[in-house]
Amino acid sequence: MSFTNTSPLLSPTRCKEAALGTNPIAVAARSNEGSFVLDMATTAVALGKIELQQRKNEPLPLGWAQDKQGQLTTNPNSALEAYCLSPLGGAEETSGYKGTGLALMVELFCGILSG
């Protein structure tokens, strides 16, 4: 298992600005039948996906990011200006609080418990 906390980019559920990092989580396990490998961030998407949508001049799926007013946006320019990604799960109505919880767990492991 591996965790790391990062600079703020994730807006926790019910917040208008980034307060947590993407806080990646990695877990791997081997068995005689094969391996299990998980490598994920606690945001709905990576920042690079927002940048790709901007380059292609395409809208974002709703739930990926917020604008400077803390509202969900489909405009990649607004999302990059705000520098604020939604948690894994998106908005509160789509279980974004679960992504927020995972990001907080990583903060606990890496920030508080590590000393």
**pLDDT averaged over 10-residue windows placed end to end, the chain, 115 residues:** 96 95 97 96 96 98 96 97 96 93 96 82
User: Of the CATH numbers 3.40.50.2300, 3.30.1370.60, 3.40.50.720, 1.10.357.10, which one belongs to the domain with range 2-112?
Assistant: 3.30.1370.60
Q: What is the pLDDT of residue 19?
A: 97
User: Are the C-beta atoms of residues 90 and 44 closer than 8 Å to each other?
Assistant: yes
User: Are the C-beta atoms of residues 8 and 14 closer than 8 Å to each other?
Assistant: no
Q: What is the pLDDT of residue 109?
A: 93
Q: What is the pLDDT of residue 113?
A: 83
pTM score: 0.89
The ranges assigned to domains in the chain are 2-112
